[in-house]
Amino acid sequence: MLVADIGGTNANFGIVVFKDSHYQLLETYRVPSQTIGDFTPFMASLLEKIAQEKHIAISALAIGIAGPLCGSQHNIQLTNLPFSINKPELIKAIGITDIVIMNDFIAVACGYDLVENTIALNTVAPKERAQKAFIGAGTGLGQAMAVWSKKENIYLPLASEGGHTEWVTYDNFDSELHAFIQQRYAQQAPITWEQVLSGKGVSLIYEFLGLQKHYPETAISQEIAQNRFQPDLISRYAQSDERCMQVFKLYKTYYARFAKQVALQSVACGGLYIAGGIAAKNKELFLDAEFMHEFTQHVQHRKFLEKIPIFLIQDYQVSLYGGAQYYTLHTLDLV
């Protein structure tokens, strides 16, 4: 099968086979998502390339997308991309009827235990068969859960759009940042966790700090401004530039608060798993004691939060393996 993870920045594809009771990733492809344009002809071209170059005939597609899925949908709009996926149109163009489409973090919830590059952020052991939660920031902010099925003796994934719930402000600084982000997005509705924790949020926090406090102009600040406040640049200088350092100090605090909210909502005694590009590139934020301190701050449930196991998934291929696993669960009518 061909498994796809269509993210807001990059679209990752993997040719997957099931052999010796394991999924094997034979080949991967990555393209900038903004270059896809029209999804159907793009997929037709990619499948033709695979057939010609690898002499492999794809018989099934498992596609993970950043966007809400509710029941059976024929035309699916992605949250942070300009194109949609029209399933009937896609079937007609490529001649493959076996197509499964899922939320991208459902794939993470299915693939977390199929990859090895995962770091434990604390020494708490997961409670057997307890609920698990998955979050991750990149271009957007994903969230999912997994619950134990006693009947099937496996974990089954549950989708969530919790990353789009409203951000919680704590003090005057947060309120002013909230108003600034509202202004930047030209919106009257409260801003969401995604608008703070996504890559765009990193850029906006950097801009906002420049309005709150005078930072001396440096070669670094000039480079960041000239490149339209790209979050990767801000991250690159997070250990050497005062303003970039402050951005990620705030970002770490906000991420911990969101993680705490999710852990409480999902009662994630089986583990809270953090994925996504920002975490993978900035693992030192989550290994910092301040992250765990903020995560456990609660008026009633501090002891409970201290018992939540937290893991950092660093393998970018988790969604490809998880997409294949979700496809298997789908064919068995388990999801």
- pLDDT, tens digit, 9 for 90 and up, residues 98-147: 999 999 999 999 999 999 889 999 999 999 999 999 999 998 999 999 99
Q: Residue 275: is its pLDDT beyond 90?
A: yes
The answer to whether residues 33 and 7 touch, using CB atoms and an 8 Å cutoff, is: yes
Burial of residue 64, with CB atoms counted within 10 A of its CB: 0-12 exposed, 13-18 middle, 19 or more buried: buried
131-189: per-residue pLDDT in tens? 999 999 998 999 999 999 999 999 999 999 999 999 999 999 999 999 999 999 999 99
Q: Domain 2-102+317-331 classified CATH 3.30.420.40?
A: yes
Q: pLDDT band at 243, cuts 50/70/90?
A: very high
Give domain limits for the chain. 2-102+317-331, 117-314
- Tell me the pairing of strands 2-6 and 61-65: parallel
CB 138 within 8 A of CB 255: no
- The DSSP line for 299-330 is SS-HHHHHT--EEEE--TTHHHHHHHHHHHHH
* CATH among 3.40.367.20, 2.102.10.10, 3.30.390.10, 3.40.50.720 for 117-314: 3.40.367.20
